[in-house]
Every structure is written in C-alpha cells, then in structure tokens.
Amino acid sequence: MPSSTAAGADARAAGSGSSGLAPTPTLSLAVLDRSTAWAEMGFTLPVHALSASQLDTLITRHVLPGQPRSPLQPLQLEGMLIGFMDLVLEHEGRYFVLDYKSNRLPAYAPTYLQGAVLAHRYDVQYTLYTLALHRLLKSRLADYDYDEHVGGAIYLFLRGVDQPGGGVFVDRPPRELIEALDAAFAQPSHDAEVNA
C-alpha cells in the first residue's frame, strides 16, 4: 500500500471543516499494524424519516461551508442505509476512516482534491462514514469522546500519491454536525425536524 507520510503537509491544507481540519496522521499504510485496521468494515444506519434535502442542508452548513456543490437529489430516506468503509484504522488513540479514490484529476494539489470531493459529493459520503464510526465507538469505548477519539476521514487519491500535492485529502466533520445527524437518524418519522 502507498505511504501517506509524504503527503502530510499538503493534506493539512486540503480540507477546512468548521471545527478545523483533522491533523494528518503520521503513519505509513505500509507498516500499519493489522490489529488496529479493519478493511471493508460494513455498517448500517437505520433512518426513520429524513429527507435528502435536510441531510444536504446540514452537511453544506458544516462541511467545507461556503463552497459550491450540486444539491442532493430530492428523496425521502427511510429504512436502512447500508455501506462499507474501505478502511477503518486506529492511530495514536484516534480512529480514522480511509477511502481509496481512483479519480483522474488534472493535478493532485489540495484545491483539485477539494474540487473532486465537492463535485462527487464525497463530503456526504465521508460524513455518513464518520457518523457510522461515531456510533460504533460510542457503543464500544466506555470513555468515548468525539473530539478525543475521532481523527476524521482520509481520502487517498491513488493516482496522485506520487505527484506534487500527494493526493491526500483529510477532513473531520465537526462534532455538532455528527451529533445532529445522530439524533436525526434516530428520530421517529413523526418527529423528523432537524436542527444544528
């Protein structure tokens, strides 16, 4: 696997969540301890009544705020959202979701990475992954605290790891957003008002 250490300086500038960018972990995937990494981790997020519009409003308000992106298609979310995270890893007491991307971009500097994240709405993807991670850690760690234990999302653009910019995008959705989504996903359909 490629190393993420070479891209650390560029990755720090690649995201700008309102709670601040998650620090790029000082780790190399090549020497990752397999006992603290879980590939293709599945998750389910039960949702009783949440519109894509409500989800979109929350995410655009809190994740890379002020940056243009296409709205989500209108639909009502009800039932189960099922997904798989490419890699969940623990490093120095913090947990990260890592996703591999094979997008071909003109360059792999932070502005291009952020542009790809917004164009493909990976901001929604990594926010839902972070929500799933939050719920998992909340159920497993007795002393769980989002700010202490969640490192964020790392998007590794594979075509860019050996190019200037390093192809690494890192962000951490703010706690306020994750807690609002956690509550919204848990609300019964007759109480589906979302605030954050």
What is the token pair recorded at 100? 């591999």
pLDDT tens across 149-171, in order? 999 999 999 999 887 668 999 99
What confidence category does residue 74 fall into, taking pLDDT thresholds of 50, 70 and 90? confident
pLDDT digits (tens, 9 = 90+) for 23-61: 555 667 777 788 888 999 999 888 887 888 999 999 999
Please state the three-class secondary structure of the chain as a single string. Answer: CCECCCCHHHHHCCCCCCCCCCCCCCCEHHHCCHHHEEEEEEEEEEEEEEEHHHHHHHHHHHCCCCCCCCCCCCCEEEEEEEEEEEEEEEECCEEEEEEEECCCCCCCCHHHHHHHHHHCCHHHHHHHHHHHHHHHHHHHCCCCCHHHHEEEEEEEEHHHCCCCCCCEEEECCCHHHHHHHHHHHHCCHHHCCCCC
pLDDT at 146 over 50: yes
CATH topology of domain 8-191: Lambda Exonuclease; Chain A (3.90.320)
100 DSSP β-pair partners:
156
Catalytic positions: 99
Give the pair of three-digit tokens for residue 17.
């969540």
Which has more pLDDT, 85 or 79? 85
> 189 falls in which pLDDT band (50, 70, 90)?
low
Residue 9: name the closest of 168, 174, 171 by CA: 168
Q: What confidence tier does 195 reach under pLDDT thresholds 50, 70, 90?
A: low
Q: What is the mean pLDDT of residues 128-155?
A: 96
* pLDDT at 145 > cutoff 50: yes
What is the reported pLDDT for 30?
Answer: 75
Give pLDDT tens digits for 98-116.
999 999 999 999 999 999 9
Domain map (residue ranges) of the chain? 8-191
Altogether, the residues listed in the chain come to a count of: 196
Q: What is the pLDDT of residue 1?
A: 31
In the sheet that holds 168-171, the strands lie side by side as: 37-51, 76-91, 94-101, 150-157, 168-171
Alpha-carbon gap, residue 153 to 163, rounded angstroms: 21
